[in-house]
Amino acid sequence: MGFFKNLFNGLKKTKETLSKKLSMIFGRGELTDDFFDDLEAILIGSDMGVQTTEEIIDDVRAKCKKSHIKTQNEFTEILKQSILDILESGVKAEEEYPMAVLVIGVNGVGKTTSIGKMANYYKQQKKEVMLVAGDTFRAAATNQLVEWANRAKVKIVKQNEGTDSASVVFDGLTSAKAKNMDVVLIDTAGRLHVKENLMEELKKIDRVVDKTWAEVNYKKYIVLDATTGQNAISQVKYFNEAVGIDGIILTKLDGTAKGGVVIPIINELHVPVVFIGVGEGIDDLRPFDAKEFVDAII
């Protein structure tokens, strides 16, 4: 139940403000243009972006007209369903073992922390987990991951700072394969998606994974910070173009940030959210549930 409480607390702020705002604008009765203008502000204000917001509003407006909506509850259900439709259009990544997950993203989104929590998550499911310290660039990143490996009591493969990331990844996968690991979680250095040389380096790592362990169920997850605005769309696009993305890990949902940017991302690119991070503790990560997410934010 700890999980649940955390998610709830994490998203409570979001929920409070959104439904408070909704009831404020609903209090005036009629579903006028002003009402929809206010709704637009609410959705844009949760980082859903101009275009997706417009699409949602058009959809909701049409449905409201069709079914003669009178109460706030009826309206909320329609709004939720509209957003849910988008969220569920993401194609889920299947979890078969052995599985290797390459964790990628821009700087400071919480890649290393997410890996620590994922290690714990799979460990609790009785999987054999190994971490690979592929971030050889950021100062002390390896030590940070070692700390997480200790906390989750899982194995880790590392080399010295400054060594070629691809070679650490090669070592890690070779070792994981030999030791029959179920889950390999590969950390990478944060990189801005527009830095071509760094994206080339990532492609190299990607090729190494493919070659070193061709049979493994290989997934690439991008980590997104819930406080990020529309730039998250650009991040997903670039990383997707470089190596292909199978899923999103949405972090830092324990603040007041809404993480609403995943809605336009899924709307546009149909990449599913896999995990959400709702706190700093090792247990503060859970699989994404679209319905729960919508219920929690509206």
Binding site for other proteins (CB under 8 A): 13, 41, 44-47, 49-50, 106-110, 138-141, 143-144, 146-148, 161, 192-195, 225, 227-232, 234, 252, 254-258, 261, 280
Contacts of 58-66 with CB under 8 Å at 24 or more apart are: 61/31, 61/36, 64/31
Q: How far is CA 74 from CA 55, 166, 202, in A?
A: 19, 53, 47
Closer to other proteins at the Cβ: 82 or 144? 144
Q: At its nearest, how many Å lie between other proteins and the CB of residue 116?
A: 8
By beta-carbon proximity to other proteins, the closer residue of 98 and 260 is: 260
The closest alpha carbon to 282, from 163, 85, 113, belongs to 113
Q: How many whole angstroms separate alpha carbon 7 and alpha carbon 15?
A: 11
Residue 9 vs 73, nearer CB to other proteins: 9
Nearer to other proteins, 109 or 208 (CB): 109
| Cβ 283 vs Cβ 2: under 8 Å | yes
Pair of tokens at residue 65: 């007209």
Q: Based on CB atoms, which residue is closest to other proteins, 218 or 238?
A: 238
d(C-alpha 49, C-alpha 166), whole Å:
36
Instruction: Please measure the distance between the N-terminal and C-terminal CA atoms of the chain and give it in whole angstroms.
Output: 22
- Nearer residue to other proteins within complex by CB, 72 or 227: 227
| Among 289, 211, 209, residue whose Cα is nearest residue 250 | 289
**Minimum distance from residue 107 beta carbon to other proteins (Å):** 6
* Beta carbon of residue 81, minimum distance to other proteins (angstroms, whole number): 24
Q: How near is the Cβ of 27 to other proteins at its closest, in Å?
A: 20
DSSP 179-217: TT-SEEEEEE----TT-HHHHHHHHHHHHHHHHH-TTSE
Least gap, CB of 257 to other proteins (angstroms): 4
